[in-house]
Structure 1
């Protein structure tokens, strides 16, 4: 594999840098806060939105979203997209909005939504004017999502929704939810599920925060009692929501499986090893710690090169298939191992809460370690991922104990 960019792509990189130098000043870069390692959504400020609109006009952001819906509609070129990410990150410039709306719902609407739904939601979602949460998991429907029981009955021009969702990220901040509901309860569990868009300020919705071990409440329970949802908020066909949800889940795994967060975490781990003393010297000088760092970075490089391999496949018009699922499985495990290494370096200081330590990256690792457990589950548990890869990718026999 040739990991160098051609002269054509290096010229494109220079073009992107010139745009950033002109439109995202040194003052902007100094004022830009550190990107959150994990979690949290917020609406952008006016300066960020102004910059994103210019970047969209130049074709640098939302390249896969048609102009009719607020994107830049550029030819598919994964190498240019990679260069844009690299340069925007270097300049600490606003990139594409993260979160469940831009990263998961927008690809789903582009594939399954009506023209009215695309016009109504996509532009405001990619600009952060509408924030979204995901209504999938239920108390008795986690990894076996198709067992969900939240029901919706069509009464006149409205779906009437009753039930409960749990582990809903950012439900308190979200304006809307994309939600799976059961509309045909007499059909097999993978059938009779529909995909609805529900406004979170609708009468009959109650959000109860769930306190995490981090001390925060990023997740919530959401209760629906006779919530009326306009029938035009159905995405795809009635009873075909499972097929629609697979598009969302595919986008979620790609979102969770990105290597940017993992690289940032490794860089923080290296800083931590330099800042923390171990037996009278920086931990980074300890041979055991150095060996651990080398092993972790080798795994990170393998994950990054695997991502480049996927880009190469896409550039050739090939479908990466289950190789993309391997990325999610690998990076979520690596994220856990990186943060665990940070906690081991911290030792007893790892028991302190975020904000109680002043050395670089210390508080970050306490928080990130607790968050990393969730990354192993998000988008499908690691064991579920392994089963899918084994059965569909390697042709191994199905688990006979699993009801399907």
Structure 2
């Protein structure tokens, strides 16, 4: 793969930098939330944010170009400018609706999701259905022109804040488990939906249990066809894994790790001056660069109409592993200071080293979200390397 960006990309970088110089930061005294929202609207209009989303749905609508996306990310980070919103709605549901949704679903939900007016949560995992997602038991029965949903979801990020849920339910109880599922959109603000926060060891409460007792959603709020939920859910899972395995994510984390190594001291000197710390950083940087180029390869193949195959699984696995390596070195750098911090998860969010303590503990969960690391290893082993299926492997 040719990684020489060429002179046209230097001109594009200058164009992005000029835009940022004119539009960010906001004037002194401006409301931060309003300023960020206004900036995002200008950046979308300029084609710098939500580039894969058509303009009619509130996106920047630009041809896919991983090099330009990288330049935008780097220049926005350098300027400290707001980037695309994160969360299940933006990173998972929007691309799913673009690929499989009805036109009215795209028109109604995508623009307000990109602007942050609508918050989504994902209704996948259940107490008895995690890695083996297709064994889920939450059911939906069609009564007239509505689906009536009964069951329970767990580990549901942002359910306590969400306006809507995209949910995988069983609509065909007599069909094989992968063929009896449907993918619905559900209003969270209704009788029959109960959200119970799950307190984490970080002190945060972004995960929840969701109990569905006769919750209702219109019959046409189905994405794809009845019984095709597994295929639709795989589209969503692909984008969840892409988000977890994003080289942008790991590059940002690594840059912050280097800053941490410069700021903390060991034996009276900056930690980064120690040879062993520099060696540890260099090892991690090697993994980060490998993932960057693997991500470029996958994007280049997609742009050329080729199927990236198992590169997505590889990037998801590597993203989780790199995140854990970064967290482990951060823990070493912070040392005992991590034991004497105020309670985590307090209102206002974690600051300073508290962010790293959250990262250290959260990195373990990333190895499970969107398909566990062991599942990714099995997929790579069986489908790429031709190894025999192991005993007790999940579906």
Same fold, TM exceeding 0.5?
Answer: yes
Q: Kindly indicate whether the alpha-carbon contact (under 8 Å) linking 1:354 and 1:367 is maintained by their aligned counterparts in 2.
A: no
What residue number does 2:195 align with?
Answer: 207
Cα displacement string for residues 5-59 of structure 1 (whole angstroms, at most 9, x for unaligned residues): 211121122222222222223647x9898xxxxxxxxxxx332222222222222
Deviating runs (4+, > 6 A) in structure 1? 30-33
Please point out which of 97, 115, 121 is paired with 1:133.
Answer: 121
Aligned-pair distance for 1:280? 4.3
Contact 1:271 1:361 in 2 (8 A): no
Whole-Å separation in 2 of the counterparts to 1:99 and 1:219? 13
**CA pair 402-290 structure 1, distance change in 2 beyond 3 A:** closer
Once the 2 structures are TM-superposed, how far is the Cα of residue 317 of structure 1 from its aligned partner? 3.6
Instruction: Quote the residue 1:7 is aligned against.
Output: 7
Map of 1:4-403 to 2, 5 A cutoff?
A: 4-25=4-25, 27=27, 45-353=33-341, 361-402=352-393
Deviation at 1:69, TM superposition (A): 1.6
Consecutive unaligned residues of structure 2, counting only runs of 5 or more, are 345-350
Shift of 1:4: 3.2
Q: CA deviation at 1:77?
A: 2.4
Could you say which residue in structure 2 is the equivalent of 1:36? Answer: none
Instruction: Say if 2:203 and 2:343, in contact at 8 Å, map to a contact too.
Output: no
Rounded Cα–Cα distance in structure 2 between residues aligned with 1:239 and 1:115: 20
How big is the shift at 1:66?
1.7
Aligned residues: 389
- Do the aligned partners of residues 263 and 352 (structure 1) sit closer, same or farther apart at CA in structure 2, a change above 3 Å counting? farther
* Structure 1: runs of 5+ lacking an equivalent: 34-44
Closer/same/farther in 2, CA of residues 304 and 225 from structure 1, 3 Å limit = same
TM-score between the two structures when normalised by the length of structure 1:
0.90
The answer to whether the 8 A contact 1:265-1:338 is kept is: yes
Q: What is the SS of the residue equivalent to 2:161?
A: coil
Listed one character per residue, the Cα deviations across residues 340-393 of structure 1 (whole Å, up to 9, x for unaligned) are 11112333223233679xxx9522221110111111111100000111111222
Q: Aligned pair in 2 of structure 1 residues 314, 192: CA closer, same or farther (>3 Å)?
A: closer
Which whole-Å CA distance do the structure 2 matches of 1:10 and 1:179 have between them? 44
Alignment partner of 1:377: what SS? coil
Q: Which moved more, 1:96-105 or 1:53-62?
A: 53-62
> Per-residue deviation at 1:2?
4.3
User: Kindly tell me: are residues 10 and 133 of structure 1, through their superposed partners in 2, closer, same or farther at Cα, counting changes over 3 Å?
Assistant: same
| Deviations, residues 290-325 of structure 1 (Å, cap 9, x unaligned) | 322222222222222322333433444432221122
Secondary structure in 1 matching 2:47: coil
C-alpha deviation, 1:234, in angstroms: 0.8
Q: CA RMSD in A?
A: 2.2
Determine the C-alpha separation between the residues in 2 that align with 1:228 and 1:292. Answer: 53
Asked if 1 retains the 8 angstrom alpha-carbon contact of 2:320 and 2:366, the reply is yes
The TM-score, its normalising length taken from structure 2, stands at: 0.92
Stretch of structure 1 that moved more, 325-334 or 134-143: 325-334
CA contact (8 A) 1:32 1:92 kept: no
Distance 1:184 1:26, change over 3 A: closer
